[in-house]
Every structure is written in structure tokens, then in C-alpha cells.
Amino acid sequence: MFNRFFFLFFLSLSILACGPKAKFSAEQLATQEAAWNKMMEGHDVVMPLMGDIYQVSTKLKELADRAMAEANDFHPRAQTALAQLETAEDGMMNWMAYIKDNPLATVRKKSPDHAAVMAFIDKEQTEITAVAANMNNAIAEAQALIKERNPGL
């Protein structure tokens, strides 16, 4: 009886020790990590644009407020540019919130395989590139309007 108990105990231990197969190979994990880091480098490049958006928004609001009484089209164009700046800023904030809710570890748990993880990272790389383009375009348009009102800048 004692021998049977030890036999069953060690058999159970052996089965449990084998455990489930790892979902991703070491090479896949390294590839995912590198792709994730590259995507986050895109974020790191775009993040300083948030300060630029704040600066041009503040200046453009001042100019738009002063131009409101004038009989020209500057005020409505400034309002359009300010809306574009806000949309660009919201795009960045939404992307960051989504990534915060879906870190790489979570993506790995939710994804059925390596291809799904890489597809997620590729999609988010495309998203942050689009966010960067929207931010740069909105900033450039606002800066052009500021320069129009202050040619000496």
C-alpha cells in the first residue's frame, strides 16, 4: 500500500511537472519584444508633439480671440485649425490609453498564436504613425496661421 501511494504520488508529480507546452518559443518572444519596442519608439518620437500642440493652440487662441472683431476669415480658419489640434491630441491620448490597457503581456495572453500578436503590434505601429502624421499636419497648419498673423515670427 505504501509503495502504491508513492508510485501514484510520483506519477502525479511527473505529469504535473511536464505542464502545458509554452505558447511562444524564445525566438517568437524576442521577435515580439523587438517589434513592441520599435512601436514604442514611434510613441517616444510623437510624445514631444503634445507640448508643441499646447504651445501653438495657446498662441492661436490668442490670435483668434483678437481677430474675432475683424471682418476677415482668420477667426473661422483659426477655429478649424484649433479643432484639428484637439482631434490630433485626442488621437494620441486614445492611442496611449489603448496601449496602457493592452500591454504586451496582455496581448500575448489574449492572442491564440505568434501571428496574432505580431498582427496586433503591426496594427498599432500603423496607428501611431497615423497619429504622428495627424499631429504634425495640425501643428503645421496652426503654425502657418500664426505666421500669417505675425509675419516676423
Q: Which tens digits make up the pLDDT trace of 65-100?
A: 888 777 678 889 999 999 999 999 999 999 999 999
The answer to whether the beta carbons of residues 147 and 62 sit under 8 Å apart is no
* pLDDT for the residue numbered 151: 77
- Give residue for cell 471682418: 71
* pLDDT for the residue numbered 25: 93
* Structural domain contains residue 102: yes
Cell of 32: 515580439
Cell of 138: 495640425
* pLDDT for the residue numbered 105: 95
* pLDDT for the residue numbered 80: 96
* pLDDT for the residue numbered 110: 95
* Structural domain contains residue 12: no
* Structural domain contains residue 81: yes
Cβ atoms within 10 Å, residue 135: 23
* Structural domain contains residue 140: yes
* Structural domain contains residue 133: yes
**DSSP notation for 49-102:** HHHHHHHHHHHHHHHHHHHTTSSSSHHHHHHHHHHHHHHHHHHHHHHHHHHHHS
3-state helix, strand, coil in the chain (%, to 5): 85, 0, 15
* pLDDT for the residue numbered 115: 97
Q: Which regions in the chain score pLDDT beneath 70? A: 1-21, 71, 152-153
Q: What is the largest CA-CA distance in the chain?
A: 101
> How many domains does one find in the chain?
1
**DSSP notation for 102-124:** S-HHHHHHH-SSHHHHHHHHHHH
* pLDDT for the residue numbered 8: 59
In terms of residue numbers, what domain contains 37? 24-149
* Structural domain contains residue 82: yes
* Structural domain contains residue 142: yes
* pLDDT for the residue numbered 125: 97
